[in-house]
A and B are shown apart, each in its own frame.
Chain A
């Protein structure tokens, strides 16, 4: 047993909030699996899956990773740069669409 007094941080969400976030994440995953089972058309599927993934990621970051309860400056230091870099990668995606048309016929 520890004899020293632990630091106690009182702020932040409680157990009911964590349970709700967990249930929401599971529900969104269930919707995703259901869409896959229904063989939803590719573009609708991709749009919905990406949308749900971003919402799930936001929930995990905000509540489980506690970022919602940190200073705004921490969020502003970390995330705009990350999103900008990810968007930059997408510049190349147009090339991928052209590649199938550039292949010589077999």
Chain B
């Protein structure tokens, strides 16, 4: 894939026949998806904020122990998985497929840890705080609606990411796919991490109870 190498010819990059972004189409496609998905999450976080501002009795169900400690460990797992993902891309760029596959597996392990802890945290909320998507003891059903929608959609993204990385990982092990494919998967994975960087403070920490 060296079709996008710039030539020394005169004229603007934007006159056609060349890639103005000097990037491959897969990466650009993933960027477009990420931007549109950011708008989805932005709209949902906005809906959360709107509901919160319009309900003075907004619930604060997250006790420091276990909820905040749990979600902090989840944040750590996700941030670390981003680092291992970067290392996978780095190894792949250097042509070391075995290392790339190991880093990908480490990323998936951290992602799976995140999902496991998140489900435990959900169960804690449902069973001990009696919060469901439709009601709670504070009498503000919007809390459960927005909370489970945002975190549920995020968890769906993590699960899809695990499947995506699994497909990439087995292909890398078999000597298929190129470095750019791992990089594009990395973009998706970092985006999932990025979204959590907003969900964790706005949803969890702003409703913490010591």
Contacts and interface: CB of A to CB of B under 8 A. Distances in A.
Interface of A: 1-3, 5-9, 12, 14-15, 18-19, 22, 25-26, 29, 32-33, 35-37, 39, 42, 45-46, 49-50, 52-53, 56-57, 60-61, 63-66, 70-71, 73-74, 77-79, 81-82, 85-86, 89-90, 92-93, 95-97, 99-100
B97 A2 contact: yes
B208 A90 contact: no
B194 A57 contact: yes
Contact of A18 (B39, B90, B208): B90
Contacts of A35: 205
Contacts of B93: 7-9, 12
Contact of B39 (A37, A39, A85, A92): A85
Interface stretch (B51-59, B109-117, B147-155, B158-166): B51-59
18 contacts: A1-B97, A2-B97, A6-B178, A6-B179, A12-B93, A22-B83, A36-B68, A36-B210, A53-B197, A57-B197, A61-B194, A64-B85, A65-B186, A89-B43, A95-B54, A96-B54, A97-B53, A100-B56
Given A33-B205, A46-B206, A73-B20, A78 B178 contact: no
A56 B197 contact: yes
Main secondary structure of the interface of B (DSSP, over half): helix
Contacts, number: 155
A85 B40 CA distance: 11
Interface of B: 1, 13, 20-23, 28, 31-32, 35, 38-39, 42-43, 46, 49-51, 53-56, 64, 68, 72, 75-76, 79-80, 82-83, 85-87, 90, 92-95, 97, 175, 178-180, 183, 186-187, 190-191, 193-194, 197-198, 200-202, 204-206, 208, 210
